[in-house]
Structure 1
Amino acid sequence: MTPLIGRLVDRRARLRWLHLIIGGALLMPYYLVGTVVVGLYAPDANPFTSLPAQFAAFAHALPMAAVTALLPLARPLSVSAARALCGLAPDRPLADGPGVSRQARARSAAWFTLHVGLGGVISGMTLALVPFAVCVMGLPFFAALRDSPALERSPLLDHTWVLALAPPAGAAMLLALAGCAAAAGALLANRAPVLLGPTPDDRLAAAERRAAELAVRNRLARELHDSVGHALSAVTLQAGAARRVLDSDPEFARQALTAIEETTRRTVGELDAVLGLLRQGADGSDDLAGPGLDALGGLLARCGVPVRYATDGDPGTVPGPVSAEAYRIVQEGLSNALRHGVPGSPVRLRVGVGPRELTLVLDSALSPRPPAARPGGGRGLTGIAERALLLGGATEAGPRDDGVWRLAARLPLHAPAKEPR
């Protein structure tokens, strides 16, 4: 019995009782309006003394409460109170944000109606039963209570056994009240995840937010891999060449060091542009335009490998987003040729601008030696494919029979029109 009583009055039970009392307080404005409505068609009924009139006012109050709870802000207010006072299990999450969809508003209205309905009943029982139980418990000790007009000098009070049973009877009333409050609180806690939990629309919106965040992270990773990775590959080769000829050809070593300085300075600027992705969520802007095909000449001049460049059409007519992605694809293709191709072998690059799509073809000599494995490497071709896929295009990469490694990409010049919903 003692553990059961402890559960009825522990901290969680007290918080749930307080939650119900708050629900009863929220019900009062609706209840007062309900008494006015009852007075219109039953003028002789006193809603403060007549039990049927009280139930009628209560029945009118609940629909009004449900209607007002259809407002979107009703859900976050109810969720805050439930999280603080209902003692919910950690594995039963509640929804965040206002209820926007029709299903979310309907569930919020159902929860609010249940909360104020049970809260009104428990609050009424608390206000009426607590003082009555205390008076019953005090009957054996205070003659003024036994002689009060409310008891009308009942003959039962003349019996000793009645007075002896009065204290345990009053305690039983309080215990019953605590049990009712605990049961109502447990019911609310059980229904909270159902009525205040995320709806399918909420889960879909959360999944879309996670997908958008993942897309930003993937984009940042691609930009860092293609821009900074290309620069580091070029710097590594230039530094190695300078080290080998430092004593025999100081002029070449000096030129290599100058190229390293220019490459690192330019890469710092590109890194600042890439990190601008991290700021676009704060101000809603996208300040990462990036270089395009108009900057391809500079890339080819400093990439570290000889390139035979041919164009078909005017690259200057390519839209900005497509041009920027094409630049990164060429940059990563040159990085692969730099790392895995035959040293000193020229790379052939063809850029074709058609009426509907841009084509990129990059051929490099296939090294007879297998490429050296790099810890954490191997994401370049995946990033190229992702860039093309985001624009609605496609890429192909692999060895050919003539000993050439070919990277080919097709990028639509204009995004396909979306069908109206």
Structure 2
Amino acid sequence: MALLGRRARLRWVHLILGGALFMPYWLVGTVVVGLLTGEGSMFGGSLTVQFGAYAVGLPLAALSSLFPLTRPMSVAAVRALCGVAGDRLADEPARGRSAKARTSGWFTLHLGIGALVSGATLALPPFAVTVMALPFSEALQKSELTSFWGLDRPWLQWAALPAGLLMLLALAAVAAGAGAFLARQAPRLLGPSPADRLAAAERRAAELAVRNRLARELHDSVGHALSAVSLQASAARRVLDADVEFVREALAAIEETTRRTVGELDSVLGLLREGEDDGELPGPRLDALDALVRGAGRHVELTVTGALDRVPDAVSREAYRIVQEGLTNAARYAGGERMTARLALTDDELEIIMENPLPARAPVVRPDGGRGLRGVAERARLLGGTSEVGRVAGVWRLAVSLPLGTASEPKGAAGVERENARGERGTSGRARSTVDARTKAPGSEPSVGKGGSR
């Protein structure tokens, strides 16, 4: 039955809770009205005192609802008892005049209606049961109740039985209707304001940015390590009997690569355990570039122009990851061919160019299109730089330019990474990427196409 169903009963409890919360305000109101009317009795006063106290208590409840915790507590009660979907309500304390006014309106409405329903719930059932017992009790038939209500005739006494039942049904109907009314008003009065929705969107974007950062770090560090170890092990296996010295070098490179990657993995997993802040992720920088290249094998030729210790930390860390991704791609697609990596440092930017021969056969295209080059483009964009990837003169070329100026450094990564989390809506200024196969490198085919997905 709808009037006595689980939802109706929970909403009735919610109304009684409102009546209980209103009790202190009503007691203060009885004192005020008692002083004004000269009636000293708090509970046995006239209806004027009772409803006067009610009228005084409502503004006091509205005033007290301005405390910050009012909205979160009200929302928790509505979610638990009124059956209102959680996404239609705001969890945070009310901020701003409009949100506080709506919260005050809800609190006053809840307590005001709850007080009336609670009073009826306390008073009406005993009276209704007494009325229904009238035909069966001689004591009640001879009491003042019978003479006061004119129920001294037998047929009226029997009519009191359905009358009492109707009273109880009416109380249940009023409680159900009042509960449904409050449930309909809750989203409008306790729902998020535009500022709340914006704050929630910012939080979701920040959380997505953190996940993207960690995913990119894991992809670059662990992905590179697995590719490098696989390449070194494969080469060592092929020359195991013919070139023992190369096998020793390969095993040493595998050991160094795995040791370094375990440290990087531990740092990233530590952030997952402890929570992410707005600072920079830990990780290697360009001073560890030599070890990275050694771990990639003999087929890598590294050329550095300029003093890399001048590169700011934020740029140095992202540049290391970009070179690492380039080496991973070469190990995966170049088939062991010799590749070149050139880093050139000028007064205002760091240029990274990595080239390797194209494979004789197009590599298998991965269903998801790969994440490495997308990560390179994101890193370059975060620093206000550029990235271009594609076929150039018979080789696969990755060219990245990163500005060194402080104006282009990340605002603590989570700040600018939120822009990534909201989606790439194109590029502007210097931030552009040619990884999406819509832009061609000069004199080349699209960046992702026949050359394979990276």
TM over 0.5: yes
Task: Quote how far apart the aligned CAs of 1:328 are.
Answer: 0.7
1:188: how far off?
A: 1.6
Q: Distance in 1 between matches of 2:217 and 2:100?
A: 42
Contact preservation (8 Å) 1:216, 1:277: no
The normalised TM-score by structure 2 is 0.81
- TM-superposed deviation, 1:375: 6.3
How far is 1:56 from its partner? 2.7
- Which residue matches 1:359? 351
Q: How does 1:7-406 map to 2 (within 5 A)?
A: 7-43=2-38, 48-86=44-82, 88=83, 90=85, 93-150=88-145, 153-154=147-148, 156-281=150-275, 284=277, 288-304=281-297, 305-312=299-306, 314-341=307-334, 343-355=336-348, 357-374=349-366, 378-401=370-393, 403=395, 405-406=397-398
Question: What's the CA shift string for 1:373-417, capped at 9, x where partnerless?
Answer: 356662111001111222232212222246462422223432459
Q: Secondary structure at the match of 2:162?
A: helix
Q: Which secondary structure does the structure 1 equivalent of 2:135 belong to? A: coil
Aligned-pair CA distance for 1:50: 3.1
The 1-side partners of 2:264 and 2:124 are apart by 74
The answer as to whether partners of 2:333 and 2:363 remain within 8 angstroms in 1 is yes
Unaligned 5+ residue runs, structure 2? 412-454
Q: 1:171 to 1:374 in 2, by over 3 A?
A: closer
- 1-side partners of 2:392 and 2:163: how far apart? 95
**Are the aligned partners of 2:39 and 2:45 in contact in 1 as well (CA < 8 Å)?**
no
CA distance in 2, matches of 1:129, 1:9: 17
Contact preservation (8 Å) 2:12, 2:176: yes
Deviations 1:298-323 (A, max 9, x none): 223332233141313x3212221211
Aligned counterparts of 1:51 and 1:379: Cα–Cα separation in 2: 74
CA shift, 1:228, in A, is 1.8
Question: Which amino acid is 1:56 matched to?
Answer: G
Q: CA deviation at 1:41?
A: 4.1
Q: CA deviation at 1:156?
A: 3.5
User: SS state of the match for residue 406, structure 2?
Assistant: coil
- What letter is aligned with 1:347? T
Report the equivalent of 2:401.
409
Please state how far the C-alpha of 1:349 moved relative to its aligned partner: 0.4
The 8 Å contact of residues 67 and 109 in structure 1, kept in 2 or not, is answered as: yes
Aligned 8 A contact 1:337 1:347 in 2: no
Is contact 2:232-2:296 (8 Å) kept? Answer: no
Distance in 1 separating the partners of 2:149 and 2:254: 109
Cα pair 1:395 1:408 within 8 Å, conserved:
yes
8 A Cα contact 1:385 1:394, kept in partner: yes
> Structure 1 residues 91-100 or 257-266, which shifts more?
91-100
User: CA 1:234 to 1:12, structure 2 compared with 1: closer, same or farther past 3 Å?
Assistant: closer
TM-score, with structure 1 as normaliser:
0.86
| 8 Å Cα contact 2:385/2:400 also seen in 1 | no
Q: Distance in 2 between matches of 1:162 and 1:346?
A: 105
Count of residues in correspondence between the two structures: 408
Greater Cα offset, 317-326 or 364-373:
364-373
Q: Distance in 2 between matches of 1:277 and 1:78?
A: 35
Cα deviation, residue 285, structure 1: 8.2
Q: Write the distance in 2 (CA, Å) between the matches of 1:132 and 1:268.
A: 76
**What letter is aligned with 1:195?**
L
Tell me what 1:3 maps to.
none
How far apart are 1:118 and its partner, in Å?
A: 0.7
CA contact (8 A) 1:45 1:53 kept: no
* Counterpart code for 2:118: S
Give the whole-Å Cα distance in 1 for the aligned partners of 2:384 and 2:149.
93
Q: Is the 8 A contact 1:398 1:407 kept in 2?
A: no
Cα distance in 1 between the residues matched to 2:116 and 2:270: 57
CA distance in structure 1 between the partners assigned to 2:213 and 2:87 by the alignment: 34
Q: Distance in 2 between matches of 1:205 and 1:18?
A: 33
Shift of 1:169: 1.3
